[in-house]
Structure 1
């Protein structure tokens, strides 16, 4: 199973201008931390952040997310998801 973070940048007319993505395999039952950085686009007026599960998880699998932080750092946009936990069904 995999989980990831994606940042999407949009202009004033809601046209997507770019994205940054991090997707990695996550072991069931372990808390892990993801950090993704993407170059801020000067002409972007909006940003959307997605945290999600990918692949083909078994039915009933849940993803818990905690401590998601979005911050601007010297022209970079950084998103940290402090904890991701994949819980496989019992």
Structure 2
């Protein structure tokens, strides 16, 4: 079975190919640096999403825990006064 070809890309390259067969830089294949940059950006986005989720968990834990702690401390203080 033959691998799939990208006929659109082949046609676009044929449009810009000079008579000697060379291609201008604008249609040359991308280097690995651009792929690494994209992978780095994706990793950064994923990392920030994980960090934001952990931050939200901490905020919810504090929002639930502080009132419980305040009620417990006020009950303890009230029992000391009685």
Q: Considering the TM-score relative to the shorter chain, is it more than 0.5?
A: no
TM-score under structure 2 length normalisation: 0.19
Q: Which has the higher contact order (CA 8 A, sep 6+)?
A: 1
**Structure with greater helix share of residues:** 2
**Structure with greater strand share of residues:** 1
TM-score under structure 1 length normalisation: 0.18
